Amino acid sequence: MATTTDYYATLGLDKGATDAEVKKAFRKLAQQWHPDVNTDPAAQARFKEINEAYQVLSDPERRQRYDLFGSAGVEGDPGMAGFGGFADIFDAFFGGAAGGAAGRRGRPSGGSDLRYDLRISFTEAVLGTEKEIEFPVLGRCETCAGSGAKPGTQAVACPQCNGRGEIRSVRQTMLGQMVNVTACPRCNGDGKIVDTPCETCRGDGRTERRRSIRVSIPAGIDEGHQIRLSNEGEVGPRGGPAGSLYVAVHVAPHPSLRRDGTELYHELEISIAQAALGTRVKVPTVEGEEEIEIRPGTQPGTELRLRGRGVPHLRRPGVRGDLHVFVKVVVPTKLTRAQREHLEAYAAEAGEPVNRDGSGSGLFERVRDALG
Ligand SMILES: [Zn+2]
Ligand SMILES: [Zn+2]
CATH for 210: 2.60.260.20
Residues 136 and 175 in one domain: yes
- Please report which ligand is nearest the Cα atom of 160: 2
Domain count, the chain: 4
pLDDT computed for residue 62 by the predictor: 85
pLDDT for position 33: 78
If you average pLDDT over each of 18-22, 77-81, 105-109, 139-143, which comes out highest?
139-143
If asked whether residues 368 and 312 sit together in one domain, one would say: no
Pairing state between β 323-330 and 263-271: parallel
Highest mean pLDDT: which range of 232-236, 322-326, 355-359: 322-326
Is the same domain home to 105 and 227?
Answer: yes
> Do 58 and 185 fall into the same domain?
no
Give the N- to C-terminal CA distance of the chain in Å, as an integer: 83
CA 203 to CA 156: how far, in whole Å?
13
Give residue 112 CA to ligand 2 midpoint distance, Å. 22
Same domain, 107 and 70: no
CA of 195 relative to ligand 1 center, distance in Å: 13
> 9 with 67, same domain?
yes
With cut-offs at 50, 70 and 90, classify the pLDDT of residue 95: very low
Sheet holding 114-120: strands in order across?
A: 114-120, 245-251, 226-229
User: For 292-306, what is each residue's pLDDT tens digit?
Assistant: 999 999 999 999 999
CA of 189 to the centre of ligand 2 (A): 6
Query: Ligand 2 mean position to 241 CA, how many Å?
Result: 19
Residue 242's CB is within 10 A of a number of other CB atoms, namely 22
CA of 238 to the centre of ligand 2 (A): 14
Ligand lying nearest the CA atom of residue 145: 1
- Among 98, 125, 158, where does a domain finish? 98
Q: Which of 250, 285, 307 finishes a domain?
A: 250
DSSP letters for 74-89: TTT-TTSSS--SHHHH
CATH at 92: 1.10.287.110
Percent of the chain with pLDDT over 90: 52
- Same domain membership, residue 156 and residue 48: no
pLDDT exceeds cutoff 90 at 291? yes
242 touches 111 (CB < 8 A): yes
pLDDT at residue 104, rounded to an integer: 43
230 CA distance to ligand 2 middle (Å): 29
Taking residues 3-27, what's their average pLDDT? 86
Task: Say if residue 137 is in the same domain as residue 276.
Answer: no
The stretch 143-151 carries a mean pLDDT of 92
Rounded distance between C-alpha atoms, residue 66 and residue 292, angstroms: 38
Q: Could you tell me the residue range of the domain that residue 126 belongs to? A: 100-250
Phi–psi pair at 123, nearest 5 degrees: -65, -40
- Cβ-in-10-Å burial (0-12, 13-18, 19+) of 163 comes to middle
Model pTM?
0.60
pLDDT classification of 108: cutoffs 50, 70, 90: low
155 and 274 both lie in a single domain = no
If asked whether residues 241 and 153 sit together in one domain, one would say yes
Q: pLDDT tens digits for 25-49?
A: 888 888 787 776 677 778 878 888 8
pLDDT higher than threshold 80 for residue 85? no
Q: Are residues 258 and 338 in the same domain?
A: no
Residue that wins the pLDDT comparison between 366 and 236: 236
Task: Please tell me whether residues 177 and 231 are part of one structural domain.
Answer: yes
Mean pLDDT, rounded, for 315-341: 95
C-alpha 238 to ligand 1 mean position (Å): 8
Report the pLDDT value the prediction gives residue 68, as an integer from 0 to 100. Answer: 81
Calculate the alpha carbon distances from 10 to 86, 135, 229 in Å. Answer: 20, 39, 25
Domain boundary among 221, 250, 279: 250
Q: Does 372 score more than 60 pLDDT? A: no
Ligand 1 is an ion; its neighbours by CB within 5 Å are 141, 143-144, 198, 200-201
| Predicted pLDDT of residue 342 | 94
- Predicted local confidence at residue 369, as pLDDT: 56
94 three-state secondary structure: helix
Q: What is the pLDDT of residue 36?
A: 66
